Chain A
Amino acid sequence: MAFPDRIERTVELAHPPAKVWAALTTAEGLGAWFGNEAAIDLRPGGSARMRWSEEGYTAHMQVERVEEPAVFGFTWHIFGLPEDDPRRTYVEFTLEPAGAGTRLTVTESGFAQLPDDLYRKAYDGNTDGWAKELGELAAYLDAA
């Protein structure tokens, strides 16, 4: 049984899309319900970050899609993987008017992606890692 690549949730909110959009795409909104503190440059390619002060964790996001007030998408780091891991998941919020409110769908995909280099590392039995890093450090110090 495969683990999911994609997570999807839909919620009905008793507020118009414009209001939901503001909660999702402004620093003030994101900081009020998602993280404790947020900053966002709302344009494709813009960066955003959210901080959870209790956990001492900061998520760095890259804005991908901005179609006010219907689609907001960003990528972020896969939680739990090392900071330098290049893999990111894509999060997309879709807002549809539903009566006087909004049907909000969030999808997050990319959990099952695996770049070639990690694929190779996972199988070829190499012994890279800290020993190699430490060896490189030693070589660097020797040369200095």
Chain B
Amino acid sequence: MPPDAEALAEADIEAVAEQVFVALADPSRRAILAALASGGPATATDLADRLPITRQAIAKHLALLAEVGLVTPEPGERRRVRYRLRSAPMQVAQQFLAALARDWDGPLGALKDHLDRSAHGPATTPHPSSPGAT
């Protein structure tokens, strides 16, 4: 990828992640995405049966989610539109979270403790007569 395209891609990645986080910040949209993730593609009517949200509100949220590319509309039975969750934007967002979820402070603290423990042994009192550590 040429540098310009790369910079553009980076900005786009940021935008994709932001759309995921914005979508997830709303409890109704979170419930809709969760229902699509667990149960697979569904129509607005299917979702209204399963969630404590009105069909109208669900249709509005689905339209918004489709607009930003988090769900894809596709033809369903009886000419109803079904919505499918798109996993790729979620994976982009997940990658952003990976840097925040990585904990090095805990392991480095454990390393320090491990080295101190093995240097001093299990005894808590000093042993002046014990063989010197090499």
Interface residues of A (CB under 8 A from B): 2-5, 7, 9, 11, 13-15, 19-20, 23-24, 29, 32-34, 78-82, 85, 87, 89, 104, 106, 108, 111-112, 114, 116, 118-119, 121-123, 125, 127, 129-131
Contacts and interface: CB of A to CB of B under 8 A. Distances in A.
B111 A33 contact: yes
Nearest to B97: A80
A3 B100 contact: yes
Contact of B91 (A4, A118, A127, A131): A118
Bin the interface of chain B by size: 35 or more
Contacts of A3: 17, 96, 99-100
Nearest to A77: B98
B12 A123 contact: yes
Contacts of A106: 104, 108
A33 B98 contact: no
B88 A118 contact: yes
